[in-house]
Amino acid sequence: MSKHVFNVMIWKARRLVILIALSLAILALFAVHAYAIIDGGSGLSADQLIDFSNGIYIPNNGIPENPAAARKLWSEESGINFTMPGNLSENGTNPQASRSSVKTGEALEYQTASTVSSGQAKAASSAEPAISQAPLPTSSPAISQTTSPTVSKAGNWSFRLKDSKNRFLALTLFQSENAVFGTGNINDGGDTMKASASGSVSADKLSLDVISSGTVNLYRLRLNLSGNSASGEYRAFSTKGDPWTGIVEGVLAAK
């Protein structure tokens, strides 16, 4: 036998072995797919699937078979005691009867209370003596009303707002009746920004809402007036953080 013929025979034998191996792999793949089709991807065997199609219940994956089993499982997992009674009547043999009993009891209690209240009202009306009503006077003396004049707080104000740092506020305020409004500038240790104010004055109290431009903040001032000075507290609101509070002092420049 020549060397060439021997090499051809070896090549054919190897090819046959490869074909056999591929055939076995394909058969194994078909078997896996067939099991998945029969099983349905649910973990049940073919016999269990047949029983399920015939109406025979097959417990699966730890799912409770009935509500009682479900409540028991939930009680063990979450610690909720489903056996504790709710707001039900003690005379009821089931939840529907208990709720009906509770509603009936509430209706009777309401009717009883209404009857008692009605009886008490009738007794009071029968026992109460008639009240004579004196004729109203045809004219009454004029009542003098004294109103304290509103003191003008218009002018150039300088305020110092103190919390974790000092802020300086200069406002030119105008007043119409008890309404106060104006514009000015505020400096919080950095850039000086424009500010606008509006509020009201009542006797010795001045309330001002001051809004700064640029970095928009609202300063709500509540002041006690004494001559040309003012003092009190304020609460500030920022678009970039939480509100904060501080104290404020102000002076009205001499006119």
Q: What tens digit of pLDDT does each residue of 30-50 get?
A: 765 555 555 555 556 667 667
Mean pLDDT of 228-237: 96
Of residues 183 and 103, more confidently modeled: 183
pLDDT by residue (tens digit) across 76-91? 766 656 555 544 445 5
Residue 104: the pLDDT is 53
2/84: higher pLDDT: 2
Query: Do the beta carbons of residue 58 and residue 48 sit within 8 Å?
Result: yes
Most confident of 15-19, 202-206, 218-222: 218-222
What's the rounded Cα separation, in Å, for the pair 92 and 85? 12
| pLDDT at position 58 over 60 | no
Rounded average pLDDT over 84-110:
52
Q: What is the mean pLDDT of residues 210-230?
A: 94
- Quote the radius of gyration of the chain (alpha carbons, Å): 46
Domain 155-252 sits in which CATH superfamily? Quinohemoprotein amine dehydrogenase alpha subunit, domain 2 (2.40.128.120)
Tokens of 72: 């028991």
209 and 219 Cβ atoms separated by less than 8 Å: yes
Mean pLDDT along residues 95-119: 54
Residue-wise pLDDT tens digits, 120-149: 655 555 555 544 555 554 544 443 444 445
Convert 62-119 into a string of H (helix), E (strand) and C (coil). Answer: CCCCCHHHHHHHHHHHHCCCCCCCCCCCCCCCCHHHHHHHHHHHHHHHHHHHHHHHHH
User: How would residue 16 be classed by pLDDT, with cut points 50, 70 and 90?
Assistant: confident
pLDDT number for residue 102: 47
Averaged pLDDT, 146-173:
84
pLDDT at residue 101 greater than cutoff 80: no
Given a cut of 50, whether residue 61 has pLDDT beyond it is yes
Q: How confident is the model at residue 162 (pLDDT cuts 50, 70, 90)?
A: very high
